[in-house]
Structure formats: C-alpha cells, structure tokens
Structure 1
C-alpha cells in the first residue's frame, strides 16, 4: 500500500501544475485569436437646439436645472448645446444621436384617463411612439425628445427626473394619474 501512495504523488503534482498552465495558455490563445471590437466613437460636438421663450421666473428655474444637470443620463454622455442666447441655460443634450431635454416647453393637456408615467418623482406623458415626453406635474414643463435609435428612453428619463424633481418646483395641479 505504501508504494501505491508514492506512485500517485508525482501524478497529483503534475496535474496540479498542468491544469492552471493549460487554463492560462487557453486564455492567452483565445485573446490572441479573438476579433478585436471596434471602439465606439460618440459624437460629442455641440447640438443645435431651439431655445424656448421663457419668462424671467421660468428662466431662473431652468438655469437651476441645467446648472445641476447630470453628466450622463441613461448611460449617454452630456453634450454642449448651441442655438443662441439662453440655449445652455434651458436645454440639455445627451448621447449620439442626441436626446434633447428642453426646460420651458408648452404644457401638454391630457385627459384624466391618459396613460402617464411617474418616474423618480416626475409625472410624464408620451406620444404614442414614445419619442416625445413632457412633464405634467412641474411649474415649468420639461420636454424630452428621444431619437428612435434609443431603445430605452425611460433610462434617460429616470436620470433626468431626479434632477427635475429636485430643481423644478411641483405644479399646484396635476392629472389624476400623477398622484
């Protein structure tokens, strides 16, 4: 019996060394032959936007929002905006193609039975395609335009809603679905 244990010891040691070496070699070979992913280069140049006409009070609220806007929303990087005086103070853009959020859009009237979405403290209404979103329960409405290529607009809206709920005061009245 004693000689049987001695004869297995070299096999166990060889296996203990060979398995990790084989794994490392396999990983190195896989990395050498695997196709390299092309880096994604997002266009982060300024986005041309339309600037809403704002009262002085609304302009102050919108400036508070844009000054504290997140650096990214829904995983999309913030982009600068251009479009004349007040563009950066009332409009935010994210990603490529750009999701554009505009503070001070025209309010949307909705039926009490309309489908609305409460996201991180802000009530939203969307067109049927889910491309145009408008806040319903804020003193200064915020509109968000989402290009069709973005599959999950709610990801962007969730991140923006946090900032909107913090900086744009709630309206005195909101549709019943927003409660």
Structure 2
C-alpha cells in the first residue's frame, strides 16, 4: 500500500525540533515516539528475512530425507482388460465348390472379381475351395456362395429388396441364410448370429450383384417395389 496521502490537499504539520542537550537529539525517533525505532525496525526486518530464507531450506532438507529413507514403491503393472478381443482368424474358411455350368461359372467369376475387400468392418478371408465362386469375411465368417440352388419359398413368404436385389431369408443353425431370387444365378449369403440385422450386411454385396449378375425377366411378385 502506498504511504502517500490519499488526496493532494492533505497537509501535515512539521515535526518539532528536538531540544538542545536532549540525548535523543542525535538519534531518530520511532513512529511511536520511542528512541532507536529505526534500528529496531532494521533488526526485525533482518530477522524476518533470515527466517524466510531458512524455512524453505529446512523444508527442502526434510523432503530430501523422506525421499532417501522412504521405501521404494513398485511400479504398477499394465492392466489387461478381460473384454479385449483376441486376434481374429485369417485362416481359410471351409466352403464347398460344386461344379457349375459355363454360364453360371462366368457370372460367378465376374461377381467374385468385383466383391469389395471388406463387408462393413469385416476383412475378406481366403476360402478352402472355389475362390472363383466363394468368398468369406471376418471371424466368425460371413460367407458368399455363387451358383447355389435357388431357394424354395411360398408366394406368401416375405421377400426383401436391398439395393435393387431381392432376397429371401431363412434361419439355419447359428446363422441367417439370405438368397437372391431375382437373379439368373443365385447368390447365397450366410450371416452368423453374432452380427445383428442381417440385411444390413448384404447391402454392399447387393451393389456388386446389381453390377455383375443379370436379373431375371419375371421376378417374384414380392420383389417388385410397392
């Protein structure tokens, strides 16, 4: 805080001169009127400074002594989460490869050559037989088989149109089987139960089917858009 007056119009009376012969004349007067006030303030100030310097040094010495004699703490081991998935299999997926007639074989080769390298987040995997007509993705494996027999279904069974491809679905052990019913060569996709909403998994495959597998002239009634 400043020691200057709060306002410029404040005046103070001059200090009275000390009387001759007074033994306090040669010594400064303290603010409270006691002699040698300046020396006392100097002594107190020096003591405060010495204390302020000594305290950090004392604290530092205590910290160093504690660190020296405190027992070492073992480093924490990295935790492993039980929910961390293991590595996905990249081994060939076992699939059958029945012999195909010339026309279906040609169509299937065109389809397989254009299939995407991934279906959603599932990477493509090798197959044990018929890579020109079979494909597999992910672990557990979602499989694509071209040239299978056409599925049998009733006129009242529900069909699904996905990206202009008409699919018939049935349930099998551990998977949903989706087969095209509006293409000259049948394409069958097996979607494991681990993957929700099976129709979403055939969406990228439908795009390739539309481009490579010709449609039939007279598709089932359920395949026609409403």
Aligned positions, number? 145
Among 87, 95, 101, which residue is 1:41 paired with?
87
User: How much has 1:139 moved relative to structure 2?
Assistant: 0.3
In the alignment, does 2:201 pair up with 1:156?
yes
Tell me the distance in 1 between the aligned counterparts of 2:82 and 2:171: 39
Tell me the distance in 2 between the aligned counterparts of 1:61 and 1:76: 24
User: How much has 1:137 moved relative to structure 2?
Assistant: 0.3
In the alignment, does 2:113 pair up with 1:70?
no
Query: What does residue 96 of structure 1 align with?
Result: 139
Tell me the distance in 2 between the aligned counterparts of 1:140 and 1:68: 16
TM-score normalised to structure 2 length: 0.59
User: How much has 1:108 moved relative to structure 2?
Assistant: 1.5
Root-mean-square deviation (CA, aligned residues, Å) is 2.1
In the alignment, does 2:96 pair up with 1:50?
yes
Tell me the distance in 1 between the aligned counterparts of 2:208 and 2:82: 38
Query: What does residue 166 of structure 2 align with?
Result: 123
Match of 1:118, SS state, is: strand
Tell me the distance in 1 between the aligned counterparts of 2:98 and 2:202: 20
User: How much has 1:112 moved relative to structure 2?
Assistant: 2.4
Gaps of 5+ in 1: 1-31
Structure whose CA Rg is larger: 2
User: How much has 1:37 moved relative to structure 2?
Assistant: 7.0
TM-score normalised to structure 1 length: 0.74
Tell me the distance in 1 between the aligned counterparts of 2:195 and 2:137: 11
Query: What does residue 182 of structure 2 align with?
Result: 137
Deviation string, structure 1 residues 75-109 (Cα, Å, up to 9, x no partner): 211111112xxx10000101101011100010123
Tell me the distance in 1 between the aligned counterparts of 2:85 and 2:192: 22
Kept in 2, the 8 Å contact 1:131–1:148? The answer is: yes
Kept in 2, the 8 Å contact 1:99–1:145? The answer is: yes
Gaps of 5+ in 2: 1-77
Tell me the distance in 2 between the aligned counterparts of 1:53 and 1:41: 34
Deviation string, structure 1 residues 105-164 (Cα, Å, up to 9, x no partner): 101232222100000110000014661111000000001112221223222200111111
Tell me the distance in 2 between the aligned counterparts of 1:115 and 1:101: 21
The structure richer in helix per residue is 1
Kept in 2, the 8 Å contact 1:74–1:155? The answer is: no
